[in-house]
Structure 1
Amino acid sequence: MGSSLLLPLLCAGVVTVATLFLPSSFASEAYPSAYGSGSCNVELIPVKREVYADGRIFDITHPYTPNMPTFGTDEGIGEVIWLEKSMKNGSITNNSHMKMPTHTGTHVDSPGHVFDHYFDAGFDVETLDLEVLNGPALLVDAPRDKNITAEAMESLQIPKGVRRVLFRTLNTDRKLMFKKEFESDYAGFTEDGARWLVENTDIKLVGIDYVSVATYDHIVSAHLPFLEGREVILVESLKLDDVPAGMYNVHCLHLRLPGAEGAPIRCILIK
């Protein structure tokens, strides 16, 4: 263990001399940023990143903050995390409490989201195929002057055989996910664009960069073609800024929430 990582733990009385015999790479590989060295008065400054492994791994999940936008309100999502038990107040550990809507932030939709008979039958997020959510994926830039219509989909000329596509739109350029207020003029799929994708491509994973894959005016009608056949999985509110377009391996894992038609999801891209 490097001295910059060991010192704060020694100062806090967390580690003992036995810890000194751990391999030197044990902590530095997981926490590469410097946590201070020298005296016990050093300030601890963790570094939070979105690009890892010398630019090979991109975190495309938005952090959950009180000002994150959510559908239909200008108030943001509000407090998601609060410290329910605090060591400063006498608890033996720090324990946080979490509460938020399932369709907030980077999240996944299941067929029960827009089909009540699927919801009743149990087609929740536990039924989603992890093989579809993980594998080779294409990040494309959608036309910036229109929504993703059938015409726009055809113009992208996505090759047959491509099963996972992440669509970067004007939403990313406008930084809509960084604004607390919900913007109803966001870019997304129209009904004909969704139907064209289902009928003319091999795409089974559709990702997009705002709170809904469907435009505001097609909020339900554009979801229906995607989810009706229970083969296409939708991932919404992806963080796609500063990621070059092209082929990657995508890895998306959502929370197992029995009975839920949506769930938060963590997604990364690997070159």
Structure 2
Amino acid sequence: MNSWIDISQRLDEKAAVWPGDTPFSYRLNWGKRDSGSVNVGQITMSVHTGTHIDAPFHFDDEGKRVIELDLDVYIGRARVIHLPGTDRIGLNELNSIGIEGVNRLLIYTGAWRDRSVFPENIPHVQPEAAAYLSEKGVRLIGLDLPSVDPLDSKELPAHHRLTRYGIHILEGIVLDDVPPGDYELAALPLPLAEADGSPVRAVLRKCR
């Protein structure tokens, strides 16, 4: 049987969040002893905690909200590539790897090893790579990082350029034990009507 591989971060109090953002918490609002029938929990978190997608509204006041995004982008054939040891993801790095006709590109960098600690620096997507990715057919880019831009960026050029070329953004995936190759991906956002992002349960299954 070809099993699904979970590439999502675990959500608990150890989950790293952007400095100053809302930490993850879960607590029981009602216990079975008190309610007489059920346990009912409550979670508090940023929509950009762990494995998540960015909606354009995250960085553009006129951008689409999560509920408006095309779900087809988040389900289907994907290619995992490895770019370990790099400090950027640009034309030079992508040119060496065949991605012709790839709609969903998932990139392992290995730069974020301890996901209980928010990283100080990460490889980033160079904005000029967006046109190249779009030309090859990419509609979704996924990274094992908390952002496609440098962590200190205020302008977020990669976010804007990727969106301009119709490329959706998936961040915080876990590809440590996933070999390069072609897979089926499912990483659906929640139907959040007003949100700028959404946590996802991202899974892969090796293509037959």
Tell me what 2:161 maps to. 225
2:99 aligns with one of 141, 147, 158: 158
2:90 aligns with one of 149, 158, 162: 149
Instruction: Assess if the C-alpha contact under 8 Å between 1:66 and 1:79 holds in 2.
Output: yes
2:109 matches 1:169: yes
Could you say which structure has the greater relative contact order, defined with CA pairs below 8 angstroms and 6 or more residues apart? 2
Q: Normalising by structure 2, what TM-score?
A: 0.89
SS state of the match for residue 82, structure 1?
strand
**CA 1:250 to 1:239, structure 2 compared with 1: closer, same or farther past 3 Å?**
same
2:71 matches 1:130: yes
Tell me what 1:33 maps to. none
Specify the code of the residue in structure 2 equivalent to 1:227. T
Give the CA deviation at 1:217.
4.8
Instruction: Assess if the C-alpha contact under 8 Å between 1:69 and 1:77 holds in 2.
Output: no
Tell me what 1:192 maps to. 128
2:146 matches 1:211: yes
Cα-to-partner distance string for 1:88-129 (whole Å, 9 max, x where unaligned):
3454210001111111111111111111122xxxx1111111
Separation in 1 of the partners of 2:110 and 2:45? 27
SS state of the match for residue 95, structure 2?
helix
Specify the code of the residue in structure 2 equivalent to 1:175. R
Give the CA deviation at 1:143.
4.4
Separation in 1 of the partners of 2:128 and 2:188? 29
Tell me what 1:117 maps to. 62
Specify the code of the residue in structure 2 equivalent to 1:111. P
RMSD: 2.0
**CA 1:83 to 1:225, structure 2 compared with 1: closer, same or farther past 3 Å?**
same
Give the CA deviation at 1:242.
1.0
Give the CA deviation at 1:195.
4.4
Instruction: Assess if the C-alpha contact under 8 Å between 1:144 and 1:170 holds in 2.
Output: yes
Bigger share in helix:
1
Bigger share in strand:
2
Tell me what 1:88 maps to. 33
Question: Identity of paired residues, percent?
Answer: 28
Q: Which has the larger radius of gyration?
A: 1
Instruction: Assess if the C-alpha contact under 8 Å between 1:109 and 1:262 holds in 2.
Output: yes
Q: Structure 2: which 5+ residue stretches go unaligned? A: none
Question: Equivalent residues in 2 for 1:96-107 (5 A)?
Answer: 96-107=41-52
SS state of the match for residue 201, structure 2?
strand
Separation in 1 of the partners of 2:71 and 2:142? 15
**CA 1:138 to 1:111, structure 2 compared with 1: closer, same or farther past 3 Å?**
same
Instruction: Assess if the C-alpha contact under 8 Å between 2:11 and 2:24 holds in 1.
Output: no
- How many pairs were matched up? 205
Instruction: Assess if the C-alpha contact under 8 Å between 2:122 and 2:145 holds in 1.
Output: yes
Separation in 1 of the partners of 2:76 and 2:192? 23
Instruction: Assess if the C-alpha contact under 8 Å between 2:84 and 2:108 holds in 1.
Output: no
Instruction: Assess if the C-alpha contact under 8 Å between 2:86 and 2:123 holds in 1.
Output: no
Separation in 2 of the partners of 1:130 and 1:216? 28
Tell me what 1:246 maps to. 181
